[in-house]
């Protein structure tokens, strides 16, 4: 029976220094040798993990938490944010001094220059401060926005923007997706495209945006560095990314 495995990036494939552990790379190579289809499922934009795809020789992925899905280098699904919704969000966030970043599959643009929160958050992903273009969303398809604010502000956005979904990924930033968007939906689309039954689908993750994915697939694996909430959603908990969690789980599941 053919199987497919999806891997989150930050805290799953990459450690907290954004490095790919040697045994993780070896595990994925063995997985492919064993006939298991390998894909990525991430909140990141495609341009943010091209080098990783090249290094791992992976050309199928679910990005932007499910809003942009690619199978063997062909876009099979895209679900941009509604331009009017971003316009309303932008007006609301600017009134509260909460800057934004707008992303498509190729670039990201900031609404303001030299903001401490943007700098800190984007730097944590090992990327430079984005160039500024507050009009970018008006002229391009945007698949994900980031709002830079603190956790106590989340409820404001959730209450006032029911057509959007907010997923916090950093102390100072939350992702903005279309309501109903998730990695789980993107995985369902790709599994359907490949003719896979969900019981033959595996997924690895560590973040809050991985919970639905881990609950949806046949076997959800939480990394040891995941929060308790994520571990509860998973079928299996492995060791941390620094302690070769992917290698250990694939061995335990007899996939390698």
In the listed set 178, 198, 213, which residue is the last one of a domain according to the structure?
178
Q: Is the pLDDT of residue 123 over 90?
A: yes
Band (181; pLDDT cuts 50, 70, 90):
confident
User: What pLDDT is attached to residue 125?
Assistant: 87
pLDDT at 168 over 90: no
CATH of the domain at 136: 3.30.1240.10
Quick one: 88 and 174 in the same domain?
Answer: yes
* Domain match, 199 and 242 both: yes
Catalytic residue from among 8, 10, 15, 244: 8
**Could you give the angle at the alpha carbon of 59 between the alpha carbons of 223 and 206, nearest 5°?**
15
Confidence at residue 215, expressed as pLDDT on a 0 to 100 scale:
98
Report yes or no: 11 and 221 within 8 Å, Cβ to Cβ: no
What percent of the chain clears pLDDT 90, i.e. is strictly above it? 91
Model confidence at 242: pLDDT above 80: yes
The pair of three-digit structure tokens given for residue 232, joined into one six-digit string: 């509860």
Q: How many domains does the chain have?
A: 2
Pair 190, 156 in one domain: no
Residue with tokens 């966030």: 93
Residues 187, 68, single domain; the answer is yes
Same domain, 154 and 187: no
Residue 73 sits in the same domain as residue 99: no
Among candidate residues 178, 213, 230, the one where a domain is terminated: 178
Environment class of residue 97 by beta-carbon count within 10 Å: exposed (0-12), middle (13-18) or buried (19+)?
Answer: exposed
59 is known as an active-site residue = no
Per-residue pLDDT for 1 more than 80? no
User: Residue 231's pLDDT band (boundaries 50, 70, 90)?
Assistant: very high
Which is nearest to 209 in space by CA: 165, 152, 145? 165
- What is the pLDDT at residue 208? 87
Q: Is the pLDDT of residue 69 over 90?
A: yes
Asked if pLDDT for residue 31 goes beyond 90, the answer is yes
Q: Which domain holds residue 165?
A: 83-178
């Amino acid at each position: 029976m053919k199987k497919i495995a999806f891997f989150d990036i930050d805290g799953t494939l990459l450690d907290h220094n954004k490095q790919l552990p040697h045994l993780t790379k070896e595990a994925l190579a063995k997985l492919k040798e064993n006939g298991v289809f390998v894909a990525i499922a991430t909140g990141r934009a495609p341009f943010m993990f091209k080098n990783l795809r090249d290094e791992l020789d992976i050309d199928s992925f679910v990005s932007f938490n499910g809003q942009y899905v690619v199978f063997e280098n062909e876009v099979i699904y895209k679900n941009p944010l509604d331009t009017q919704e971003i316009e309303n969000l932008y007006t609301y966030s600017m009134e509260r001094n909460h800057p934004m970043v707008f992303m498509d599959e190729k670039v990201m643009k900031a609404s303001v220059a030299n903001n401490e929160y943007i700098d800190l958050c984007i730097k944590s992903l090992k990327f430079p401060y984005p160039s500024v273009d507050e009009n970018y969303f008006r002229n391009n398809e945007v698949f994900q926005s980031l709002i830079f604010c603190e956790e106590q502000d989340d409820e404001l956005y959730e209450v006032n923007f029911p057509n959007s979904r907010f997923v916090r990924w950093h102390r100072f930033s939350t992702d903005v997706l279309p309501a109903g968007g998730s990695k789980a939906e993107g995985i369902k689309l790709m599994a359907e495209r490949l003719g896979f039954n969900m019981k033959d689908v595996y997924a690895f993750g560590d973040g809050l945006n991985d919970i639905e994915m881990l609950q949806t697939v046949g076997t959800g694996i939480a990394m040891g560095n995941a929060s308790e909430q994520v571990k509860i959603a998973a079928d299996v908990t492995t060791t941390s990314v620094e302690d070769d969690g992917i290698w250990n789980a694939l061995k335990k599941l007899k996939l390698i």
